[in-house]
Amino acid sequence: MIPIAKPFITEEEAQAAYDTILTGWITQGPRVQEFEEKFAAYTGAKYAVAVSNCTTALHLSMIVSGIGPGDEVICPSMSYIATANSIKYVGATPVFAEVQPDTYNLDPVDVGKRITKRTKAILLVHQIGMPADIDAFQELCNRHSLKLIEDAACAAGSAYKGKKVGSHSELVCFSFHPRKVISTGDGGMITTNRQDYYERLKLLRQHGMSVNDRVRHESDRVIFEDHVEIGYNYRMTDIQAAVGIKQLEKLDWIVEERRKIAAAYNQAFKGIASIRLPEEKEGYFSNFQSYSIYLKHTAPVDRNTLMQHLLDKGIATRRGIMNTHRETAYKNYMPGVSLPVSEDLQENSIMLPLYVPMKAEDIEYVIDCFTHEILAVADTDKALV
């Protein structure tokens, strides 16, 4: 079986975790601080705050942005459900907007139409690693006095107009889940250029504790902590951070290798008229966290049948990105939502295997099997090629 994805974890990461365990400091401590400093430097942000996962990163970003009951936050429905959930966690209302069919990212024109007096923020997702148009949304937020929060769960290593994703906005949230480009098993990171956000985020992730365990441990004077506000247990462990440090060292190489695989797919499929390939516009640099193909309505096989045929041949695939408004938790809570572009993309997109290292013969096998299936009726319909 060729999997849809798998993390690139080596003996270096295992040794780093082992060494950290032997220090006796296995919760949030010196390795977490080191990981934060190195991740901030990598992205070009002033600060980085490590947390337990990207969902908690989004939740804390909502809190420090002052978003709460009665507020609206515009976001894509076409995203993992955690995007909308983070808005609900603070009692606000997610307002779903359409995406652009060529990038799967929020459409700024449609977002602009959905801004009301209750709108407090835009939650911008860099879907499957392709950067969204950050400048367009910053301009929209500035014009309407809104907060901009970036959901960069899939975008570690991606870049927008020459700068790594993570340094453009006040709050940018990353994921280190195993499906992402680098992984710590699970985990997340928030980057920010605002010191006030940085200080409060550190409080909130550890029960609102005024002095963390590492500082008390390293001090040569007795220190007593205070819990200055209601916080959360959203800490990252030092074991995870030790793995993350090693992963970060390889991130640019991993992205380079992923882009080679995506380029091989693009080259092989570029002549097939019944599909639409990922589009990377000038100034946009994707880490290709996933490789998604859209099947046009002229395709000789429907998406679900294609997925089954590929699975029968030992190739795992995934459907198009979910639409949150179509999930039970939201369609009952928000009935009547209609997003034709997002729904069409979900129903007619397929993600192909992409991971590092991926054997050349496996890449060719995926290409051959996909091409055979998508051109199954080529002899009777020459217009498809």
Question: CB neighbours of 116 closer than 8 A, spacing ≥ 6?
Answer: 72
Cα-only R_g, the chain: 22
| DSSP tag of 53 | -
Q: Is 40 helix (H, G, I), strand (E, B) or coil?
A: helix
Give the active site residue among 180, 202, 296, 331: 180
H-helix or E-strand spanning residue 253: helix 238-269
Is the bond preceding residue 101 a cis peptide, omega within 30 degrees? Answer: no
CA angle 159, 249, 321 (to 5 degrees): 45
- DSSP strand pairing (72-76 vs 93-97): parallel
* 147 given a catalytic annotation: no
What is the amino acid identity at position 10?
T
Per the structure block, which two tokens stand in for 374?
Answer: 């998508």
| DSSP tag of 128 | G
CB 86 within 8 A of CB 62: yes
Backbone angles phi, psi at 165, to 5 degrees: -60, 130
CB 235 within 8 A of CB 60: no
How far, in Å, CA of 189 to CA of 48, rounded? 7
* Length in residues, the chain: 385
Question: CB neighbours of 338 closer than 8 A, spacing ≥ 6?
Answer: none
Q: Is 223 helix (H, G, I), strand (E, B) or coil?
A: coil
CB 283 within 8 A of CB 160: yes
Catalytically annotated residues:
180
